[in-house]
Structures are given as structure tokens and as C-alpha cells.
Amino acid sequence: MRFDVLTLFPEMFNALNVSVIGKGKQKGLIDINLVDIRDFSKNKHKQVDDTPYGGGAGMVIKSDVVYGAFCSIKSKDAKVIYMSPQGRVLNQEKVQKLAKNKHIILLCGHYEGIDQRLIDEIVDEEISIGDYVLTGGEIPAMVLIDSVSRYIQGVIKEESVQEESFSNGLLEYPQYTRPEIFLDKKVPDVLLSRKPSRNRKMEKKEVFGKYI
């Protein structure tokens, strides 16, 4: 899976170099290419935004600058997603559908957003991670990359994907590990009395049915 990320702050994505996603990158299963929109500014000061027509607070990212960045990596097979609070809220069903793509281009807005003409020209879909406002699209883009990458074959064990929360429309059951007693609270006896097995998942569902 290839992700191209159009952003003003590529350094924010260093968090994706560790843990599961970082290992996926090392194995060559995930390719995350960060494109600095500022590099495509024709202004000597590398300005990428300007005041909005019609007035109003804040600045709007210029369409020509973003379009130059987009043209440097565009592909006819790529799905272009704009991370936007106006978009459809990301859920597990959408994550699994996105994982079937081979190339995703993520556009990260900032300030008061991006010139609408650019969005109309290149964006296939707008996606939000919740009904709240953030300072930019970088964190939502990382959320999408993380959630989608887990469904790329080889990134994590297939059985882990099949058993995790939401995969079967269910939330995860409570988990326990050593020590057996913590702050006077003991691991449920039914878990201590059974040996690990391939059917442990079903056993836990029976024990913690009230949670799922």
C-alpha cells in the first residue's frame, strides 16, 4: 500500500516510524511518502496561503500551490482523500474498503482550509475522524493511515485482525494479565481455571457477554 501525504508539516508524521506501522514500513508493506506543499510555492518567502475572498478571519491555502504538489505524485489509480470535518466520519467498514486500494493520496488542510476549486478538481472523497475541529488534517491523516495499514496483509497477524474490536460488529472483551492480584482485585476465576487454547476467544465471549 502506498500513501502519499500532501502536508505543510511533514515532521508531524515521525510518529508513524515506530510500533506496528514502523515495522510495516521496514518490511516494505507500507510506503508513506510525505510531500511538503510549501516546496511548490513560487513565492520567494514560500508563502502558501492568502486572505479569503469575501473577508473573514484566518487564511486559506492557495489552490495553485497544492495543485503543483498533487501533480508531482498523481496517479490515475490513486484515491484522493481530503481530511475534512465536513467529510463522512471514518468507521471500520470504511477502513476495510480503503485497505483494498493500492494507492491513496491524503490531502491535509490547515488554517481556514483549502481553496474549494482545488478540492472540486482533485478530491474523490472527504473524510472526517469525528465531529470536532482540529488545527489541521495531519492527525486525522495519521489515524487513517494507522487504521487502514492494519488491514494490509502481513502488517499484523491475520488472526489478530479477525478477532479485534468491530471486525464482527462487537467491542473487545476485558483483558487481563499478570499479576494475578492487583490492588486487591483478582483476575476472574474462570480465566485462571482454563488453559490457553484456540477457543479462548469464544470462552471469553461467554464469560464477558454483558460487555459485547
- Cell, residue 191: 480465566
Looking up cell 471486525 gives 167
Count of other CB atoms within 10 angstroms of residue 111: 15
Residue 92 has pLDDT above 60, yes or no: yes
Question: 181 falls in which pLDDT band (50, 70, 90)?
Answer: very high
Dump pLDDT digits (tens) for 115-144. Answer: 999 999 999 999 999 999 899 999 999 999
Residue 200's nearest CA partner among 173, 168, 181 is 173
What pLDDT sits at residue 8?
97
Question: d(Cα 68, Cα 74) in Å, to the nearest integer?
Answer: 10
pLDDT average, residue stretch 190-209: 60
What pLDDT sits at residue 210?
42
The percentage of the chain sitting over the pLDDT mark of 70, rounded to a whole number, equals 84
Dump pLDDT digits (tens) for 24-43. Answer: 999 999 999 999 999 999 98
Distances (CA, A) of 173 to 20, 145, 165, 203, 207: 22, 25, 8, 11, 9
Burial 59-98 (b: 16+ CB within 10 A, else e): bbbbbebbbbbbeeeeeeebbbbbbbbebeebeeebbbeb
Q: Hey, which residues does 107 pair with through a beta bridge?
A: 6, 82
Residue 19 has pLDDT above 50, yes or no: yes
Burial 14-25 (b: 16+ CB within 10 A, else e): eebeeeebeebb
- Cell, residue 106: 491524503
Q: Would you give the distance in Å from CA 150 to the centre of its chain? A: 10
